[in-house]
Structure 1
Amino acid sequence: MTFPRLFIAVALLIAAGYLQDPPVPESLFTRSHEFSLSDLPALLTLYAVAFAPLVPLVLALIRGLTHFRLHRGLAFVLAGLTGLFGFVITLFGGAFSGGGAPIVWLQGFTLTIAVCASLLLASRKEGEVSEFRRFSWKLLMLPAAVALWSLVSAGGVMLSANRIAGDRPFCLAPHTGKTEPVRSFAQLRGLSFYTTDSGYKVTSMWYFHGLLFVAQESGGVFYNWSPRRMRFDRIPHPTRMFVSPVGACSPRQDFWRTLSII
């Protein structure tokens, strides 16, 4: 496989593993809040982060389908600015993500590396083989590995849920205190199925990464998804939680059929 095709394939893998639904900042779109120019930087930052997983793919397509090449100096400048921006945003975001901080940092830092490496690879001249190219390519392999883990993790969620539920009705949901069942297979990826609520494992608050609710005659059993162990662990006393997982979703025999791909 030639370099342009391989670049596009890896960029597709990164997009599939990292891309999330665009955020909807509800606080900026309420009747009591009048949108102003002061809100624009926060809004642009949110959407820049949300669509960052597509940047390597766009650069790979430009690199593979056109003769356009970034100037080497410009690529270094853009990569440096991107790295600084990504580092600050990720560090700040993880600090307010409670138990999900390690995954936020993993996601943010490796995504930043993906964009920086893609910028450097987009400046490579045709037929050029150098330490610069090898270094850029090695950088891109790190987020590619994380993207692969993210996709494989979705399979782990499905296998673990099927093993525990057997032939009983079940459902999956994030732990938010609301009735919000998982609606797509994309939500089960490792970089999606985790909590960023700040109360995780604090005395009065406890948010779980992801919930599995299995129906049975006594009412039902709740499980919490462990990204580190790649399995569901039973929640002993779900009704004692300050933010109760009860009511997060309604078990169904055909739960998998209700999910879309994305």
Structure 2
Amino acid sequence: MFKRSVYKSPVELRSMVAAGAATAAALDEARRLIAPGVTPLELDAAAERVIRGLGGRPNFQLVPGYRHTLCVSVDDDVVHGIPGDRPFRDGDIVSVDGGAEVAGWNGDAAFTVVLPDAARPEVVAARETLSSVTEQALWRGIAALAGARHLNEVGAAIEDYVRGEGDYGILTDYVGHGIGRSMHEEPPVFNYRVDRRGTAVRPGLVVAIEPMIVAGSLDTFVRDDEWTVTTSDGADAAHWEHSVAVHDRGIWVLTAADGGAAGLAPLGVEPVPIP
């Protein structure tokens, strides 16, 4: 059987730019709307409108058995939360994950926000720190990709950063992935150090890097909805993700409007647009 290469041609890399941009725009709209009193279903509908308005379709809806544009995970829900009609509340930590398919190519990204709560400043502060550590772990993984010879250097960079920031856990049952014609492709992208080098990093590699960090135990379970992954001890969780392309002049974060410039600048990496 023919096995598709994990590496894209220059033409294919350029073809992925629109899907990344649509994904970024949809998540930007969700981020703009999220507030106490708003429901996950409202975010879901808004994100779908953005994607379809840009000529794409929500790729999460292409996953068998799933009919939403986003996954929205609140508090101790880590990933794959199904959007519902329970409004967000003050102090919630909310992770939003989504993607778009445009002209047969895919993008995938996620972010986490913490809603304000004047009555519980210590809870908000702890959750904001968890989200920040997860986001910075993502950027360190992306920065590592820029200079890596093998893909598993990304996970080592993520783990090294997280271990230095406190007593946080890196989920091991769920990892990042390649992305292209399908939302989930080879190779796996680990968020932690493993004992093999992994795929060679060279032009044409496109991966979704997505650390999922918890404030307590690594043990999780799947809720009765058969999708939502939740921490077994009720600890908070955060999730950040970007789709990143490696090309012959550098890297480009497909799902960031600036290609990742703001996130990578403090780490001494300058992303280069796909030629």
Could you state the TM-score of these two structures normalised by the residue count of structure 1? 0.25
Higher fraction of helix:
1
Could you state the TM-score of these two structures normalised by the residue count of structure 2? 0.24
Higher fraction of strand:
2
Larger Rg: 1
Return the structure number with greater relative CO, CA threshold 8 A, min gap 6.
Answer: 2
